[in-house]
Structure 1
């Protein structure tokens, strides 16, 4: 039976999802032999288990054009292997400079997965997987994730019970049954609704944890079972609130049943796989009754039994039907087209003979402008390069400049670049390291973490991703952390830092969204504080090797507008905009320039 569902669980239990992410992982982590083996066995290469094992045993880099590989493969299999290798190297190079969404799109369409799901009717339901993968990539892209961070972040969904959150995207719905949870059905109406398996119960509250927490009594430790309470860990406060918690759960279950029933416009079917008549159901399951309300059917049983009782002689608002068990049957595939290369080639030949593609009209895709923008990507200068598809000024790169403070940082960044990458530098050869490297962006992340902790007067909590490139080099890691500690201390001793510490109100890493024209600008302000005179100061930390404040007029102007709107700051109250260069322990006030900046015009020129 064709179906659609918006509740996505077991994301990685589907083969296409595993294959797509295995390919993406291999583009970043070439030593990942499990991903490599999965790609070789996937439809993208379609090798047998024996052939895959033979290649993995050779311990060669992925898709090596080596005579040893050719010796373990038949000619046809070797040709598929070579074609997959060409595409792998192409995608690996493509992913270095293009956004995640474009990388995912290229992989889905050009690997053949898209057309296989269109052709092979037995796997057509996998076609919507691309929409989900694309949405995950889009969300990660908005968080400025690299490809490595993206593939690492989705590992949490490898737990088959894990649900994809925040995936309310408009999937193309085919004809069929819509499967959705009662929670998801709010506000929806269908002509026919089935509420299935209403006999199944929910998990009981047995207070099995080592501690018990309640809003009224806080956290208390559970003691071993006692004679008075043999079914649960004894806890006075748990027992005291048990009846109240039970009443809340029952009320919530009744609310959910109401939501489920009222989704049906014309017909409503309720199924119960273990029906048995319950004596005194009204006394047990009506509000205030003494029965344990454990299922949807328990909620409905009093009214159902009332109408089914012999005492009731009126018209029933429903009918009851016994459905006998049936063996599972499968639709015959005789009418479906064969999933073979010969059949596909036959179709292509017919399309070419009919001139289908030659005479087809080009469909112009609407160019939908981006709704969200990040102020940190709005640069006002022409001196820029592209990293991971994002505009980054050369001032943020690790170029060897003279008289730059903290040269140890540049040395550590340089040392983290693998030797093979240095050998290929400037040759035009593509190279992706098997080992994580320490980038200028990683250093900036760590420095920002230390500055945030200094303002909040807490201990810095480092991101594993930021230190991955130097985690194995204890000496370099210690040097980086000592430098960041020194930068934080110097900021605290500076006039700006002292003013922030003595401020009546301050926020570090302050997120915001602000509407500017037709765009929504969203970002995070490093520091904003309110002085005793009522004025506000916005501080943006920079780890650049050179000081080019003109690059950040638009960015800080966006911050300024956001602060004014969020905090309802009157026009006559001053809002300062300050860049603080951590390497130089120097602040530069760009308030006047930010006030003169036409943000909407700047955004428009940036996009054009």
Structure 2
């Protein structure tokens, strides 16, 4: 297993890829840690990839996942949530945002749920247009509130027991004097349970016993209160510092020296007004293209090039439920025909029966089934192209793909390292001894040979994109590209 892991790492260049991400050093250490765990696994006499994965899953489910490196291992300052710090220790810990109020989102739902006490709904009086809590809801709310406070106490305990040397608590108080006066009135050590239950944040719980200690004299002086019977039983030293937030901000009326004014003037460079972003061309390069954007229509070309166009005028019309139904649009009829082609049984020439089956299976609506061009589909089943598809070794319809392609394939001016994500759906492809054939079905209204030739030229880019994508995905050569126009019953091969 260890050799397999290193083979995967080296083949896919995983150390370099993960090393280039955020916290790359940590990610690389985690990759190495996994191989070391595989070595220990095999040194115990076990063998096999399946056994290794099974053991990993059991360890993870039991909360005994193999030890990995953390960001703290790099010697930097690590920021993490309290939950994530569980089980870890650090020399110095800053516990910040102590004024963050406890969440009450659990009590905002119309119905409270408790695994033991059941449901606690609101009562809605339709006649008086009011709602009020039921006795069951009040009971559940009190129960859930106590459980939430107990959980918050456990979280605070975890946070305050992470440091090995020093714990620094940061509590940003608004209206500090009045707040401290209120807390001092209920302060005690230990604090009464009913007072603890009224706490709104971690800061309340920490200040209540702290205000009874001698070290909290600066806090009591700020509030202008005296505390009798100070608690001195705990010998652990506390240090209390008070900082005024205004000391860290810019004073609105502060005078600016002449030196600072001169420095400010010299910092401005008039050339900034004529600055042109050197990579402006790249900003117009789309990050993603769909194959339908390459088939030559004006709107698709604008999308592909991110070009501006004149606004399309959309007439104000009545909503659909107010309009008289006049059947499907040509685009909707084409969508219905493509749905039938997706599920069409090439061995069964009974097209009406197949359409009715799709309607009964709810794959087509009744309106779509009525709009399907049955004669065109029958002509297709009798065509040489359909016979080739029936004889094919491998075939697929509505084949979806997403591949990363060089941007220069679609924009010669793009940089060599730029890429574009190409997405699309191939109507059909099938494989013969000569290679892969790509087929795209078209419902365009064409009648003459000239119309067929003109429309076929519009789809050259789309078929080329399909071919490149399939060669990348299937790792096989595409030797033939064909368009089939259903209305004309003609097959056109694109070179």
Using the size of structure 1 for normalisation, the TM-score is 0.32
Whose radius of gyration is greater, 1 or 2?
2
TM-score normalized by structure 2?
Answer: 0.38
